[in-house]
Amino acid sequence: MIFLLTMKNIIRTLVIFALIVFFLWLFAKSLEIEKAKYYMFHTKLRFLFFIFIVYPFIYFFRSLRWKQIIGEKGEGMKLIDVYSANVLGFAINYTVPARVGELARAVILGKKTGVSSSFIFSTVIIERILDLGAMVFFAGFFYIFRGYAFRDLNPTKGSMEFLSKGSIIAFLSFIVLMLLIFFIYLFKKKVYVFWENMCNKLLPVKLRKGAIHVGERFIEGLIALFENKRKIPIIINSLIIWFLISIGYWIALIDFGLKVNFIAIIPYIVALLIGASIPTPGMVGGFEALSQMALTGFYLMDKNIAAAATILMHLSLIAVTLLLALPFLIREGAWVLNIKGYKKFKEEVK
């Protein structure tokens, strides 16, 4: 058993390493290093001021939304505790692979508040679905006004087809996901019974009770949004979060000479979201490759300028998060860096 677990970890590590190498190769294969370096050190860098000033507020709105999603169980939580777990979780995401930070957020907040970490983890998934929903909303808005958005650009026909199809696929994926959760909500009693029967059939006796409890708390959190009284504030906060994020990247690309209207920046944000979903430490590789592909393909930006912009934006995003996390790491204690504990929780949730 230990051998199998070790092999599993080795294979996972090799896969992640291969992904990083592949995407970094895509990113760097045709770069002129000296030119990219020149553009990195000769930009206005106004966006850095925006990022370091506004990102603490983005995490504030994220934390407020998360507290609202948790619902009645979140009413007794202090916002500072939610903010702390949020920032620390994102900091861990930027330094550890496989999205361990999402688990960390649930465990840190659960330990701080006494609320089930399994329940909280399911609300983290709801958060991610809402992020997808916000981007689907913006992608739909772009799709309607795509002619206006790209009126001053001349992207390739293939790029525009990709944008159109991508917007439709994202919308349909979001609808299917929401319908699935809604059906779980409608038939929650049957889902609970199904989960209990599966645990009783597949698991050893000593594990059944714990697995049933964890699964029930997870399902409870997953459907909590439909019973939540704060649906409108949650949706508004989601749009505010992604509007502020989009503004930051828009200012950054203007600093690198890309003069486009705000609507035109939406496909770039969607591309970054795809890149960020690749489970590598700090989004390394996926962020770089998808950013450069979007900048050169959609906006016809010079590949070396695109590389310089991508590297600086990525580094600034990680830097502001790690700096924000530092005082909360001191506040909570070194135990939050126990990555093995989060992975153990992941196995329990499964």
- Domain holding 226, by residue range, is 34-349
Q: How many CA atoms lie within 13 A of 319 on its CB side?
A: 11
Evaluate whether residue 29 is within a structural domain. Answer: no
Indicate the pLDDT class of residue 59, thresholds 50, 70 and 90.
Answer: very high
Evaluate whether residue 15 is within a structural domain. Answer: no
- Provide the percentage of residues in the chain whose pLDDT is more than 70: 87
What integer best gives the mean pLDDT of the chain?
Answer: 80
Per-residue pLDDT, averaged over 283-290, amounts to 82
Candidate from 119-133, 179-193, 274-288, 302-316 with smallest mean pLDDT: 274-288
Evaluate whether residue 61 is within a structural domain. Answer: yes
Query: What's the pLDDT score for residue 300?
Result: 84
Signed CA dihedral, 290, 292, 294, 297: sign only: negative
Both tokens of 63, joined, read: 């934390």
Evaluate whether residue 14 is within a structural domain. Answer: no
Number of structural domains found in the chain: 1
Per-residue pLDDT, averaged over 36-48, amounts to 76
Rounded to whole angstroms, the Cα distance separating 251 from 39 reads 16
Per-residue pLDDT, averaged over 105-121, amounts to 86
Evaluate whether residue 63 is within a structural domain. Answer: yes
Are 270 and 262 in contact, with CB atoms under 8 Å apart? no
pLDDT over threshold 80, residue 228: no
Evaluate whether residue 23 is within a structural domain. Answer: no
pLDDT over threshold 90, residue 173: no
Are 40 and 311 in contact, with CB atoms under 8 Å apart? yes
Per-residue pLDDT, averaged over 165-179, amounts to 74
DSSP code of 78?
-
Evaluate whether residue 22 is within a structural domain. Answer: no
Indicate the pLDDT class of residue 132, thresholds 50, 70 and 90.
Answer: confident
Are 88 and 270 in contact, with CB atoms under 8 Å apart? no
Evaluate whether residue 184 is within a structural domain. Answer: yes
51 closest CA partner among 331, 322, 328: 322
Count the residues in the chain.
350
pLDDT over threshold 50, residue 152: yes
Per-residue pLDDT, averaged over 280-291, amounts to 81
Query: What's the pLDDT score for residue 344?
Result: 57
pLDDT over threshold 60, residue 282: yes
Q: Which has the higher per-residue pLDDT, 345 or 142? A: 142
